[in-house]
Every structure is written in C-alpha cells, then in structure tokens.
Amino acid sequence: MNIINNIKYSSLSLAMLAATVLTSCDENIEIGKAVDESPYIASTQLNGLLVDETTNKNNSVIELRENEYSTNVVFRLSKLPQKGVDVKIAVDESYAATYNAVHETDFEVFPAANVKIAYDGNFVLAPDDKVTPSVKVTLTAFEGMKEDQTYIIPLTATSSTEGVTFTETSKHMVLLVKDYRNIPNTDKGKNAVQTVLYFEINDTNPLNALEFLTESGKYFFDHVVLFAANINWDAEKKRVYLANNENVQFLLDNNDKYLQPLRKAGMKVIISILGNHDEAGVAQLSDMEAKEFARELAAYCRAYNLDGVAFDDEYSNYPDLSNPWLASPSSYAGSRLMYECKAIMPEKIVSLYNLGNMYSSSLQVIDEVEPGQYCDYAVADYGGSAGPGTGMTLKQCGGMSIELNRGSGDSSESTARSKKGAGYGYYMFFALDPSKYSWQVSRCQSVCRGLYDEELIYPSYYYSKNSSERKAF
C-alpha cells in the first residue's frame, strides 16, 4: 500500500506465555483432484486423517445463525487399504482440555448431547476405497449460549483395523462454534465471495461500512481491515512491540462506538500490521521473536475484541542480523509469524496482503503445517489476483484488489462475475471515503452486480471522522 502512517508509541503490555504447537493437517487435499500424500506418510504406512470436507482443515469456525447447523467431515486413508477398514468418528470431550492447553485458549465444551453424527459415526471403507462418504455432523443450539464465547466440539477418528495408524493431530479435528443467532449478518448466500474493505483510518471513519447495503438488505462488506497498526523496534529495550498511532488508538479506546457496531452487524474487524521504517518487520523476525510477537498480537486482539490480523510487509528497514530477535527478510520468516499467530489464536483470522517478502503463493510449510492451514485468506496488491500457496485453494484468495481513491483495479461487473465463476473467495477494496462517493460507489455497485446479482443501494448517510453521529448527505 502507498500510504504511510505517522506513529506514536502505544503498546499493550502482557505476560509472556508458554510455547505453543499448532494442531495441523498433514495433507494437501483439494476436492475432486488427486492427493499428493508424500508430505505426511511413508509409502508403507496406512495413515488416517480426519478433516473438514469443505476447508480441508482439521479445524473449522462455525457461525451458528440458526438453532441447527450441519457441516460435513471426511476420513481419509493415505493409500488404498487392500482390506476392509472400520472407522469410528465421535465427539471426544476430553480432548478439549488438551486443545485449550496447547493453544492457550479457554473455549467451553459444546455439549456432546447436542451433536449428532450420521450413522452414529460408524463407517467401513472397502479395500479399494481411501475416503469415507461425506459424514454429516449436525449441532443444535443449547439454552444459555453466550454470544461472546467460543465453544469447542472436539471430534476424533479411531479404527480397530490392524495397521491403521494416526498421528496425534491427524485423528483429531475441532469445530469452533460462535452463537450469531441474534446478530444481523452479511450472509449473501452459501459460498458467496466475501468482500474485504481496508479502511485508511487516518482519514475515514470505519462506521461508514454500515451504510453499504444490497437491495436484499444484506451488508455489502464482510471484513473491515483497520489500516494500520505498526510493528516497531524498541532500541532501548531491545524488543519488538505493537504500536498504534493516535487514530488507531482512538478507535480502540472507543471500541464500543466505532468497532463493535461493525461486528454486531456481522462484519469481521481485523487489524492490519505494517512496518514502520525501523528494524522490525513482519517478515524479518527470528523464530523465537515470531512466537513472542504472535502472543502479543493474540492478547491485543482478545483485549479489544478484534477478529484477527492482516499482515502487510512494507516500510521496514534491513535488520541487524547480529540481533537474535531479528532475521534476514524472507518468505520463511513471514510464514513463521503467520503460523505462530494461528497457533496462539486459532479462533481468529490470520490474513495477508501480498507484498514484499510475503506472497500467498510463496508461503512455506512450517513445522509440517501447510500455508492452507494457517493463512485464512490472501488478497493481492491493486489490480491483481492472489495465487494459492501450498494447501490453499482459490476460495482462500482475492480475485481482485481495487483502490477506490485513485481508481486502480478492475471494478467491472464482468470481471467480478468471471472471478466468482473461477472460484475466488474474496474481493478487496481500499480507501473508501464519503467525500469521494461520486465515483467510488459506482465501482462498488458494479462489483455487487457481478458477485451477487443484485443492486447496491447508494448510501444516504455517512459518518465523519471521529464521530459516531450518523449524518445525511
């Protein structure tokens, strides 16, 4: 991005926590395509793996908007078994304590009595079959659910067939459930492309996202990214820390007025993390510093009730490589930080703006965990499309990035329709500004028609900077 923030020191103090290990999926799976099994098995082994059918991950965040919700999981073998294999998929409430300990979370257990697995979770794979049919898992809301609580449903796969083996991670997957039944939403249909709006909050009030509604009454923007907080280097204390300029801090200090209304509307509120012209950078931390900074980011997101982080590798100076907290700028270092963030806050979004040393297509496998497991989605620089990295699909990639202020990026209806048809999962916008709606809104409208086959209503109201008062044009 091309806008530089002027930074004032502001950091969130926190206690440093113990090391974490990310629960991982050991296989790169893409529905309908052959699976490359080499990363996670030896050719002589018959390994089992339990994953979400849609995301191919061993964890899935569920937004419960009705009293009942269904999803599908599958059990896979690493190769043809050459014999019948029995499989049992069940809720294992005891694993919740292990998961919470590993990830340093405090998720409450979703009652097993409110979870139904098709055929009681009992399946048999034929000698020439490597994967179960879709296994329907249905959960029912229970009385007393809290909107601000994340609930965990730990699933486990077992087999009594001789020779079938599991790693500790491959036999488990978790569903993380949030109660959104009483919250307005942005849901524009199953598998709809999600829109990501980067706000230059030095100039614009993020509440303006609330004024963009489709004709069917759905909010147009799904994710609001606050651009930006900064990764800074404290030369005196010899540490990396998170800093907010006065505009970021104002929004955080007035969270209930400026940020939580967006979340109550069903939008995800994400903080962008950007370099700040010193030795610190999101793609130049050592392994140990990546772990520590990830903990700070997790504490920050939870303290301010944010939905995650978006990394942007810009405006960092080359580091002193004699410093054990820093490392040579690289895709590996950026990948490590994203991995550590997902490990410490699995319920939050970890996303990427493709730039510098961090591109989705070049993200690396970290501790045997593929990028598709720790990068929720990536968007490209203006005018481009993000490409999937290892274990990622186009559903995790932005089909187009549009700079609304200067007019760069293709906002045509035909391109939006084409990107949707190709399978991209996201569309990105930057620098929405009420003073420039005369040309900005029409670009959003054409994208809306292409993505959702409906009109976007021209806003009648706006919010000036640092004001929660809704004003008519």
Q: Which residues are catalytic?
A: 314
Tell me phi and psi for residue 318, to 5 degrees: -65, 135
Dist CA 194 CA 30 (whole Å): 20
Dist CA 90 CA 378 (whole Å): 33
DSSP 67-108: SEEEEEEEEEESS--SS-EEEEEEE-TTHHHHHHHHHT--PE
User: Letter for the amino acid at 357?
Assistant: N
Dist CA 374 CA 350 (whole Å): 7
Dist CA 198 CA 195 (whole Å): 10
Dist CA 55 CA 71 (whole Å): 11
User: Letter for the amino acid at 352?
Assistant: L
The three-state DSSP-derived secondary structure of 363-421 is: CCCECCECHHHHCCEEECCCCCCCCCCCCCCHHHEEEEEEECCCCECCCCHHHHHHHHH
Beta-carbon count within 10 A of 415 CB = 19
User: Please, what is the Cα angle at 66 between 60 and 72, to 5 degrees?
Assistant: 35
Radius of gyration of the chain from Cα atoms?
Answer: 22
Q: Tell me the Ramachandran region of residue 396: left when phi exceeds 0, alpha when psi lies from -120 to 50, beta otherwise.
A: alpha
Give me 249's structure tokens: 């801090």
Dist CA 447 CA 409 (whole Å): 11
Residue pair 125/77 in contact (Cβ under 8 Å)? The answer is yes
Q: 5 by DSSP, 3-state: which?
A: coil
Residue pair 188/219 in contact (Cβ under 8 Å)? The answer is no
465 burial via Cβ count (<10 Å: 0-12, 13-18, 19+): middle
Nearest Cα neighbor of 206 from 408, 466, 441, 472 is: 466
The three-state DSSP-derived secondary structure of 124-175 is: EECCCCCECCCEEEEEECCCCCCCCCEEEEEEEEECCCCCEECCCCCCEEEE
